[in-house]
Structure formats: C-alpha cells, structure tokens
Chains A and B, each alone.
Chain A
Amino acid sequence: MHIADGILPVSACVAAHAVSLAAVYRLGRKIEPEEVVRMGLLSSAVFVVSLIHFPIGGTSVHLGMFGLCGILLGRRAFPVVYATLLFQALMFQHGGLLSLGVNALNMGAGALAAAALWKAPRIPESLRALVCGVVGLLLPAILMAVEFSLAGYGKGFFVVASLYTAVALVEGALTVTIVGFVRRVKPAVLARVAACLLIVVGVAHAHDLVATHERTGASVIVRCTYAGTEAVSFAEVQVHSPALPKSAFQTGRTDIKGVFAFVPDADGEWRFIVDDDMGHRTELKIPVSAVAVAPANTTQPLWQKAMLGVSVILGGTGMLYGWKARRR
C-alpha cells in the first residue's frame, strides 16, 4: 500500500515531505523515557506485520496495525509511522525516500484518526477498537485513491482501495481481540496510554493521585492516596536525589497503606515519583535540609568490654587444660 518513488509528481512529494517533517517535529517533542519502549515496540510491530502479505484480487495486501498504533500511542503514532516507513523504504524498498512524506501523511492520518476515535466517550470499548482498526487501514487507502486520482491516474485506485475494505474488517476484528486480551491480561498497557495522552496534551499533573510528605528524624515519609481517601497500595516509586537527578536514588513500592519511606543523604530538592500502572502518576518535590549524618555507633559499654575479656581468658584457659588432659 506504499506509494513508490516516481509515481506522484515531485512537487507533491516535496510538499508532503515538508508537512510530514513538521508534523514529526511537532508531535515527537519531549518524548518521556517511559514512552521510548512503547514507541520502539509499536514501530517494530507495525514493521513486522506489514511483511505478512495476503493475495487479494490479483494483487497483495498486508495488515497495517495503524489503528492499534493510534490506540496505544495517541498522537505519538505519527512519528512512529514515519520511522517505520523510513525503515521499510531502506530495507525492502516498500515506498521510497522521496514519497516517504506522502506515505507518512496517508498512514499517519489513519493512526491519528484512530487515536481521536479511541477517546470518544460513551461508546463500548470493543466497538471503538473495531472502528479504530477499520479506520486505521481504510482511511490511508482512500487518501491514496484520491491522490492517484488527482495525479492523473484516473479512478482506478478506488477499485483497489475497495479491496482493502475486507482487509480493514479483518484488521478491525484483530484489533478488538488484541485490545480485549490486553484489557484482561495487562490493563496497565491501556491505562498507561491514558496517562501518556494526558502528558501529551500538556496536563502535567495526573488526576486524583495525591502524595503528601513529612519528616520523621532522618527519614522522609510519603503517603499516597487517591483524592485523599483511598490508599495507593503497592504502586511503583522512584526517588531521585538532587545530586543525581537522572538516576534513581531508590526504587520500590508503596506498602498496603500507600506509605513509602526513604532516608535522604543530602540537602536539596528531592523528587518523588509514584506510578500505579493504572494511569495515575504524580511527582512530588520534597525540599530537604539539615540532613544529619549519624556517626556509626562503635562505642561499647565498659561492663561489656570487661565481660568479653574475662570470657576470652576463661575460654582460652579451659582449652589449654583440656588439651593437656587429653595428652596424659
């Protein structure tokens, strides 16, 4: 389904490339470290799936998974589609480098449409997944047909695009199965998407999850709750020290009451990040001052020292007499 180089006019290809590059820059800004894995994996999955071809009507078609890409990545799907198409152009000459922009706009539009539809409220999840899967594949086919028609190839590609309807339905059904299975087995994957979408639209704070902290001696105790009522039990926690902000000073999980404690070793602003794997995440900045480094308790009371000395002498004497008695 990729347009190869030399098929569309160069001016159209260059203009599409400029638009798609601008979109990649815009939608690929400030990628969070936890998004890297998801984006890399989805792009690899789209790449691998596109290698599986089905013969239909004298030609061959393949699945795209752009709908699933949109569901799981939100608007990050566009740079992922662009990178996947770049890989396909380099490795298998699917499409081309010149027509990469047009292909990215076509298929990226499918993924972005799916991302928008996935957020539609009050529609059952399975129906949404079906529509996302179908639209993710069918919209690029329709866009291609329009482009071919505008480029002077006539309406011929509309016939080919209609062949994709069957594939789109298969892909829609597959998307429903995958989303349903993921919902049952690892709902955090879908929940993380919700968190990612919130991050992408610029909402810096996750909703509902509240973390408060207090200082007790050398320790800092953080209590995590949902809106101040229900405890956030066993949620993932990362603590970053002011000296090494990029590396975790401590990682772990909250206890059943949503409490986590750590012992800071330096003054400054500490970062506390809690993520429940269900789409709730919050970050707390904890100012720490006057950290007292407790000296190691090496002193021993005098009576303990005296007892130790006496027991060593008695033990040594006993061993000596015992050894002599054995020799006789």
Chain B
Amino acid sequence: MTGEFLDRYATLDSPLHRLDPRAKVVALILAVLIVSATPPDALWRFIPYYAAIATLILLSSLPQRMYFTRCAIASPFILLTSALPFISMLLGDAIALDNAIRLGAAVALKAYAAILLLTLLTATTGLYKLLWAFRKLGAPESVNLIAAMMSRYIAMLVDEYARMARARASRCARPMAGDVHFAVHGSQIAMLFIRSWERADRIHSAMLSRGFTGSMPVLDDYVFTGRDLTFTTATVALFAAMALL
C-alpha cells in the first residue's frame, strides 16, 4: 500500500526525478521554511511564491490532478484553522475583522504552498529513497528503523484486515445494537492486533534472515553532483530573494 501510494509517480522521468533525493529534501524543506516565515500582512508575496511552485510543478511532469487530490485531503483541517480567527471573534476575542481575514488567508496560502512543495518532494522521489535521504542527512537511527519497519508493516496490517473482513462477511455478520456492536468491533481490532503481532514477528525474522540491518536498501547509487548543488542553491536563493523583496 505504501509503495503503491507514494511510488506511483516516482518512476516517471523529469529533471526533478533525476535529482539526488538529498538535494530535493534540503531545497524543498528550506523553501517551505521560507514560505512559512512570511508575515501575514504581506499577502502579495504569495504571488511569486506560487509562480515558482507552478514552475517546479511543470518541471516535474506529474499529473496536476494529483496535486488537487493531495490538497483536498488536507483541506478540512486547513480550512478549520483558517476559520479559527473568526470563531475566536465570535467568542469575544478582540480581533479586528480585517486582521482575521488576513490571518485566515495567510494560513491557507502558506499551508497549501507547503503541501504543494512536499507533494513535489514525495511524488518525485519514492518512499525508500526519501528514507535513505533522511538517513544520510542525519535523521535519528530509531526513526530510520521504525520507518523501515512501517514501510513493511502497513501493507501487512491492511492485508490482515482484509482477511478478517472477508471472514466476517462470509459469516454474514450484521451491525448489532449498542454496546454489543462496540464490544464486537473492539475485540476484532484487538484480534487484528494480536494476529498482526504474530505475523510481524515472522516477517521480522524473515527480514533478518535476508540481511536486513535496520534500513531498506536503495538500488540507485547516488552521487551529489554539481547539478544537484545548483538546484538546491537556486531554489533556496529564489525563495529567499522573493521573501526579501
């Protein structure tokens, strides 16, 4: 599941796909940092930001529908956060209407810019290469290890759930009333957990027997070239220049 979702577009070919994952991680996270640091009273600055993001999107050769999907997934919380100043106004907080509008708009613009930039990063790189880049950039060993195990176990959990759901459907299970329904579902979740626990143990043993040392291997042999350095420097410099305008 993880691979299917995140690596669906990672095998396309574009200038962004060919870059070293480390270059993309550094450049795009710093770009998010710069956009996030923009004060809410300078909303016009978001026009060049979004122009730069649009250029990167065009360079990536990714289907534009995917960006809308990712933005739509995160929209409920972003729109809720944008509405917070107005909710606070209704609760009696001393926030002027124009300030509330500016604050709400800035929150939405920053959040959507960050989502677009991170989508660029994840969709053009692929899960294992991203984890490899984080490891090379000094991410904590425990996080690398857990992430490597997660990349394997999420698919297993979904698989185990599908098996349980099939077994339940084959026994003509129907929704029950009240606490019985809750107890049945709680027990099913617990059973799913226990079955997954036992299978996870076997998977871990199999991984160890195949030479797993705490991180998933990456087949590509990346060398940080001048092209990667140019992309990182140019992207960060462009966003920094727009912030200082």
Residues of B within 8 Å of A176, CB to CB, are 186
Q: When A and B form their complex, what is the total count of cross-chain residue pairs whose Cβ atoms lie within 8 Å?
A: 217
Known: A7-B81, A10-B36, A89-B118. A182 touches B194 (CB 8 A): yes
Binary flags per residue of A209-247, CB closer than 8 Å to B gives 1, else 0:
000000000000000000000000000000000000000
Please, how many angstroms separate the alpha-carbon atoms of A6 and B77 in the complex?
A: 13
Binary flags per residue of A84-105, CB closer than 8 Å to B gives 1, else 0:
1011011111101110000000
8 contacts between A and B (CB under 8 A): A4-B74, A4-B114, A6-B109, A31-B142, A153-B85, A177-B189, A185-B191, A185-B194
Q: Name the residue on A nearest B154 (C-beta).
A: A44
Q: Which of B33-51 contact A (CB under 8 A)?
A: 33, 35-37
Q: Name the residue on B nearest A82 (C-beta).
A: B143
Binary flags per residue of A158-197, CB closer than 8 Å to B gives 1, else 0:
0110000000000001101110011001100100000000
- Whether B63 sits at the interface, judged by CB under 8 Å, is no
Q: Name the residue on A nearest B40 (C-beta).
A: A152
- Whether A79 sits at the interface, judged by CB under 8 Å, is yes
Residues of B within 8 Å of A41, CB to CB, are 149, 153, 157, 193, 196-197, 200
Q: Which of A93-138 contact B (CB under 8 A)?
A: 93-94, 96-98
Q: Name the residue on B nearest A170 (C-beta).
A: B182
What is the minimal beta-carbon distance from A92 to any residue of chain B, in angstroms?
Answer: 6
| Count of residues in A whose CB is under 8 Å from the partner chain | 64
Q: Name the residue on A nearest B141 (C-beta).
A: A28
Interface size classification for chain B: 35 or more
Known: A36-B149, A97-B118, A154-B93. A181 touches B186 (CB 8 A): yes
Q: Which of B36, B76, B81, B190 is the one whose CB lies under 8 Å from A177?
A: B190
What is the minimal beta-carbon distance from A313 to any residue of chain B, in angstroms?
Answer: 53
Contact A7 B149 (CB under 8 A): no
- Whether B113 sits at the interface, judged by CB under 8 Å, is yes
Please, how many angstroms separate the alpha-carbon atoms of A10 and B39 in the complex?
A: 10
- Whether B215 sits at the interface, judged by CB under 8 Å, is no
Chain B residues within 8 Å of A, Cβ to Cβ: 2, 5-6, 29, 32-33, 35-37, 70-71, 73-74, 76-78, 80-81, 83-89, 91, 93, 95, 103, 106-107, 109-111, 113-115, 118-119, 122, 127, 130, 134, 140-143, 145-150, 152-154, 156-158, 161, 182-183, 186-187, 189-191, 193-194, 196-197, 200-201, 204
List the 4 closest A-B pairs by CB distance, nearest first. Answer: A154-B88, A6-B110, A40-B149, A28-B142
Please, how many angstroms separate the alpha-carbon atoms of A199 and B203 in the complex?
A: 24
Please, how many angstroms separate the alpha-carbon atoms of A65 and B91 in the complex?
A: 31
Residues of B within 8 Å of A160, CB to CB, are 80, 84, 87
Q: Which of A93, A153, A173, A182 is the one whose CB lies under 8 Å from B84?
A: A153
Q: Name the residue on B nearest A148 (C-beta).
A: B84
Contact B84 A37 (CB under 8 A): no
Contact B186 A93 (CB under 8 A): no
Residues of B within 8 Å of A177, CB to CB, are 182-183, 186-187, 189-190
Residues of A within 8 Å of B107, CB to CB, are 6-7
Residues of B within 8 Å of A155, CB to CB, are 88, 91, 93
Residues of B within 8 Å of A200, CB to CB, are none
Interface-central residue, A29, A43, A79, A83, by most chain B CB under 10 Å? A83
Q: Name the residue on A nearest B73 (C-beta).
A: A92
Contact B87 A98 (CB under 8 A): no
Contact B84 A154 (CB under 8 A): yes
Known: A93-B70, A98-B36, A177-B190. A156 touches B88 (CB 8 A): yes
Chain A residues within 8 Å of B, Cβ to Cβ: 1-7, 10, 13, 21, 24-25, 27-29, 31, 36-41, 43-45, 47-48, 59-60, 79-80, 82-84, 86-87, 89-94, 96-98, 148, 152-157, 159-160, 173-174, 176-178, 181-182, 185-186, 189
Contact A94 B74 (CB under 8 A): yes
Contact B87 A83 (CB under 8 A): no
Q: Which of B36, B83, B152, B191 is the one whose CB lies under 8 Å from A6?
A: B36
Contact A96 B114 (CB under 8 A): yes
Please, how many angstroms separate the alpha-carbon atoms of A178 and B76 in the complex?
A: 30
What is the minimal beta-carbon distance from A291 to any residue of chain B, in angstroms?
Answer: 28
Interface-central residue, A25, A28, A98, by most chain B CB under 10 Å? A98
Contact B186 A90 (CB under 8 A): no
Residues of A within 8 Å of B29, CB to CB, are 97-98
Q: Name the residue on A nearest B203 (C-beta).
A: A37
Contact B130 A90 (CB under 8 A): yes
- A45-B196, A173-B182 are known; give 9 further A-B pairs, CB within 8 A: A3-B81, A83-B150, A90-B122, A148-B81, A153-B85, A156-B86, A178-B190, A182-B193, A186-B194
Please, how many angstroms separate the alpha-carbon atoms of A91 and B4 in the complex?
A: 11
Please, how many angstroms separate the alpha-carbon atoms of A24 and B95 in the complex?
A: 38
What is the minimal beta-carbon distance from A32 to any residue of chain B, in angstroms?
Answer: 12
Residues of A within 8 Å of B142, CB to CB, are 24-25, 27-29, 31, 79, 83
